[in-house]
Amino acid sequence: MLFNSIAYLVFLGLVWVLHSLLPLKWQNRLLLIASYVFYGSWDWRFLSLIWISTLSTYYLSHAIARTGSQKQRKRYVAFGAMLNLGILGVFKYFGFFHESLQDLAGALGISLHGPAIHIILPVGISFYTFQAISYLIDVYRKDYQPSQSLTNYALFISFFPQLVAGPIERPSHLLDQLEKPRRVTGEMLHEALYLLLWGFFKKVVVADTLALRADAVFSADEFTSGMVIAGTVAFAFQIYADFSGYTDIARGSARLLGIRLNKNFLFPYFSKSPQEFWSRWHISLSTWLRDYLYIPLGGNRRGELKTYRNLIVTMLLGGLWHGAAWNFVLWGGYHGAALAIHRFFKSTYKSRSGTQHSVVSGLIKLTLMTAVTLYGWLLFRASSFQQIQDMTSGLFSSEPAALFLATFLKTCVYGAPLILVDFVCYRSNDEFAIVKWPLVPLVLFYLALIYGILILGVTNVQQFIYFTF
Amino acid sequence: MFSSSSTSLSKKRLLLIVGILTGAVVLLEILFSSLLPEGLMTQSLRGKCDYIVSHPAPDIQVMGDSVSQGGIFANRLEETLNAHPGSRPVTVRNDSLGGTSPLFAYYVLKRQLRAGHKPDVILFAPNMAVTSNPIPERFWGRFARPGEMAESLRLGMPLSDMVFGLACRLSYTMRYREELRGAVTAGNLEFFKTARLPVELPGSESVESQPAPPENPNETFDARELPWMLKQPFRPLPYVDNHIRAFIELAAENGIHIFWIPMPIPQVVSDFQRESGTVAGFERYLQSFATEYENVRILFPESAVYPDSHFKDTWHLTDFGAWNFSGTLGEALTMYLSENPELLPGTAR
């Protein structure tokens, strides 16, 4: 049941009506059943994986809280993390490592014959696994008291708006809301309306239309600079509209039920440095990686060189989290290197000349960061190392290409609303700045979204990119 | 948390916005429906249905979608069948409805029988791709009557399709979103220009003699350009299957024989579907009907592969392709009917 389907709208409408009629205890039970129905609509067999993750982390968290022995606490948390990462490893990475090992052995002249294993990737497994692990670690660190209600905890792991593609929530944020009485205010409902309409628009109008242009470029056999740039810019808008559109629909759906989910995007394409980009792009993942990987590795507390190492290792694993393919690892490593280089220059520049801010320097930084981000998307979207090589060489070829102009124009037209709305909200430092507009422009804005979705929306339902991660 | 006064204020503001928005949408939709024309496809669909229901049925009636509408020439078929004169000439009419699915065939036959017009034989030629994508929003939005809507739900149509379909019925924008999209994004105003033309009615085929061979005999289709519907595995939706069964059973109750006709496909589609197991799945599906129902017969066990030059696109035959296929179909049907004269009473050869 995809968010951009009529089935989801009917489902959400039914859940919303029933939810508003029930008391809290029954509200959570209803949401839990609804979440399992939602997840089971993809493949009911994978419900067993969610149950394993839920039950193991729930009971281990209680065991951790009960025992006084630090050694025992460590064993429990390690066991829980290994079990959940093990499931993720088998379902998401087994085939990848199996193939990579065979390729490596082949390159060394050793023949490894084994049966070809094809494991279906359960949708959303990377998201709920990270959420369950963060809960266990927070309990271990005594940052959070284990939940006393299995229903509430199971709902925290499987809450349908954010189950399949985040935002990855922390127990202190989502579980706390699930355990307390909720009140749906008029403001929340209005924000929900805005998030749902804007999210659907981004997905079905911007992302799905630009996907066709980006796909046309990335499936070509030969590349020229215009093509590569236009295709990569189209993909940059596509992935942002797709993922942030999903997140907005998730947050809008949750707000209808009186629950506020975390922000996952904060105008990322206005970033002026890699550090700023990662504080604005997929925020729930980058903060997860910071708190549960980068800081435990030592963060920036053990000298500059180790900080660079920690940044690169964190981002390499962050890249691998996105998918079982080497280009994601390369993409992660590339961003890790960008973070390290930026950190090096920032400390050098700061120590020599202090901090200077001007419009010109801001524009230069914005342009440089946009170029870094775009090349990163090329690595991310490419289907092979060979294609990365071909497209990179293509950047230096100036032969005219028919695909360039059509792709570029379409990207400008369809990307413009995205940039305009982001710019309005960025300038006022308020993601709901538009909601506060006067009545007439606001209604016209909503009408434009509704008719944009109806007329320009791609009707053949497309899956969200991040559902495959 | 918000104070109660700000909450009530924002609830009032929200109600006002939702109210104005709803009013504006309703007003726009009323304006669109009053000022803009209904689509040619809708006019044609309704016009053809009215024609079928109000006119005597032919001996042999072709039913299907746009693929059979343009791919089977009734007059060519009639000519071939009547080349071996029996006691009375056989009449053939192509009542296929472009842009529809097997759901429509069932309800058209039902309306037709209720009006007292019964064919002896139906050549049923639905495209296999529409069994998993039956265009329910067109059924709800442009065709179905209340009783038919209720029956389609009883036969298993999902609630979400009903909601979407009803929205299409109520909203001009939703009903013609594909056409409006073409107008907005590509400046294609054909929809608005052609909608006032008279609709094409059954029996108005203009091809009387062999059409010219294709202009570009070397044209080939690329596997990468296949439409997504043709790449889908053959997996008929349960409610489509239920409607097909209801169609066959209704025909059986009224003594109508059904010949299920797989339409020709280009090589690239055949290769793709053979590799993906779609061809085998479709064959098994056809055979299961022939085994289960006495009134269902299969003339060709699978889709014939025709040269690319016989197609306008990866779905539809050109006039030349249709001419050839209608001839082949006519020959096969003549042979079958000569061995089974009871199927068409009074035409023993």
More confident residue, A399 or B240: B240
- Chain A interface with B: residues with Cβ < 8 Å: 5-7, 9-10, 183, 185-187, 189-190, 193, 219, 439, 442-443, 446-447, 450-451, 454-457, 459-460
pLDDT of residue B1: 36
pLDDT at A260: 95
Is the pLDDT at B218 greater than 90? The verdict is no
Look at A267-281, A302-316, B211-225, B242-256 and tell me which has the smallest mean pLDDT. Answer: B211-225
Compare A73 and B89 and report the one with higher pLDDT. A73
Mean of all residue pLDDT scores within chain A: 88
Range of the domain at B318: 39-134+219-343
* From A357-371, A436-450, B83-97, B310-324, the region with the lowest mean pLDDT: B83-97
- Say whether both B121 and B23 belong to one domain: no
| Three-state secondary-structure class, residue B213 | coil
The reported pLDDT for the residue numbered A112 is 67
A18-32, A45-59, A437-451, B126-140: least confidently modelled range: B126-140
Q: Is the pLDDT of residue B2 over 50?
A: no
In this prediction, residue B198 carries a pLDDT of 47
Q: Is residue B214 part of a domain?
A: no
**Torsion over CA: A358, A360, A365, A370 (sign):** positive
Comparing alpha-carbon positions, the chain A residue that sits nearest to B183 is A455
CB pair distance less than 8 Å for A187 and B171: no
Residue B209 forms part of a structural domain: no
Residue A145 or residue B163, greater confidence: A145
Could you tell me the two tokens for A454?
A: 């109806």
Are residues B98 and B125 located together in one domain of the fold? yes
User: What pLDDT, on a 0 to 100 scale, did the predictor assign at position B197?
Assistant: 45
Long-range residue pairs from A324-327, CB within 8 A, at least 24 positions apart, any chain: A324/A92, A324/A93, A324/A95, A324/A96, A324/A97, A325/A96, A326/A100, A326/A385, A327/A379, A327/A380, A327/A382, A327/A383, A327/A384, A327/A385, A327/A388
Please name the helix (run of DSSP H) or strand (run of DSSP E) that holds residue A448, with its range, or none: helix A439-451
The whole-number average pLDDT for the span B120-147 is 85
Q: Residue A359: is its pLDDT beyond 90?
A: no
Average pLDDT over residues A214-239: 89
Is B25 in contact with A450 (Cβ distance < 8 A)? yes
- The pLDDT, as a whole number, for residue B86 is 61
Residues A219, B174: C-beta atoms closer than 8 Å? no
Question: Does the structure show a pLDDT above 70 at B348?
Answer: no
CA distances (Å), A57 to each of A78, A157, A448, B302, in order? Answer: 11, 10, 46, 54
Q: Is residue B33 domain-shared with residue B49, that is, in the same domain?
A: no
Q: Report if residue B286 sits inside a domain.
A: yes
How much is the pLDDT for A404?
A: 74
Mean pLDDT of chain B: 83
B19: pLDDT strictly greater than 90: yes
B298, B290 contact by CB (below 8 A)? yes
Mean pLDDT of A27-36: 95
**For residue B329, is it within any domain?**
yes
Examine the domain organization and report whether B33 and B102 are in the same domain. no
Query: Are B65 and B28 contained in the same domain?
Result: no
Same domain, B318 and B254: yes
Q: What percentage of chain A exceeds 90 in pLDDT?
A: 62
The pLDDT assigned to B81 comes to 84
Measured between beta carbons, the chain B residues lying within 8 angstroms of A186 are 7-14
pLDDT at B5 (0 to 100):
47
Please judge whether B1 and A183 are an interchain contact, meaning their C-beta atoms are less than 8 angstroms apart.
Answer: yes
Return the structure tokens found at B48. Answer: 């053809």
- Cα–Cα distance between A202 and A292 in angstroms, integer? 31
pLDDT at A102 over 80: no
Pair B246, B288 in one domain: yes
Q: Do residues B14 and B130 share a domain?
A: no
Among all residues of chain B, which has the CA nearest to that of A258?
B1
What confidence score (pLDDT) does residue B7 get? 53
A322 among known catalytic residues: yes
The partner residue sitting opposite A439, judged by closest CB among B1, B17, B159, is B17
Cα A331 off chain centre by? 15
pLDDT band at B4 (very low <50, low <70, confident <90, very high): very low
- Asked if residue B126 and residue B43 are part of one domain, the reply reads yes
Put simply, the answer to whether B21 touches A189 (Cβ < 8 Å) is no
> In the prediction, which pLDDT does B193 show?
65
Radius of gyration (C-alpha) of chain A in whole angstroms: 23
The CA dihedral of A131, A137, A142, A143, to the nearest 10 degrees, is -40
Alpha-carbon Rg of chain B, whole angstroms?
Answer: 23
Structure confidence by residue, pLDDT tens digits, B9-18: 678 889 999 9
DSSP A75-137: HHHHHHHHHHHHHHIIIIIHHHHHHHHHHHHHHTT----------PPPTTHHHHHHHHHHHHH
- Residue A35: partners with Cβ closer than 8 Å, 6 or more residues away: A155, A158, A159, A160, A163
Mean pLDDT is highest, among A142-156, B273-287, B306-320, for A142-156
pLDDT score of A421 more than 70: yes
Task: Specify whether B25 is located in the same domain as B49.
Answer: no
CA distance B249 to B284: 19
CB-nearest to A443 from B2, B24, B181 is B24
| Structural domains in chain B (count) | 2
Q: Which helix (H) or strand (E) holds B229?
A: helix B228-231
- A244-290 confidence digits (pLDDT tens): 999 999 999 999 999 999 999 999 999 999 999 999 999 999 999 99
Q: Has residue A106 got a pLDDT over 80?
A: no
Contact B325, B80 (CB under 8 A): no
Task: Choose, out of A17, A187, A445, the residue to mutate when testing the contact with B (most B CBs < 10 Å).
Answer: A187
Query: Stretch A348-377: mean pLDDT, rounded?
Result: 81
| B183 occurs within a structural domain | no
Name the band, by pLDDT with cuts 50, 70 and 90, for residue A324: confident
Between A77-91, A151-165, B119-133, the lowest mean confidence (pLDDT) is in B119-133
Per-residue pLDDT at B181 exceeds 60:
yes
Flag whether pLDDT at B196 surpasses 60: no
Contact across the interface for A186 and B13, Cβ inside 8 Å:
yes
Residue in B17, B160, B184 nearest the CB of A456: B184
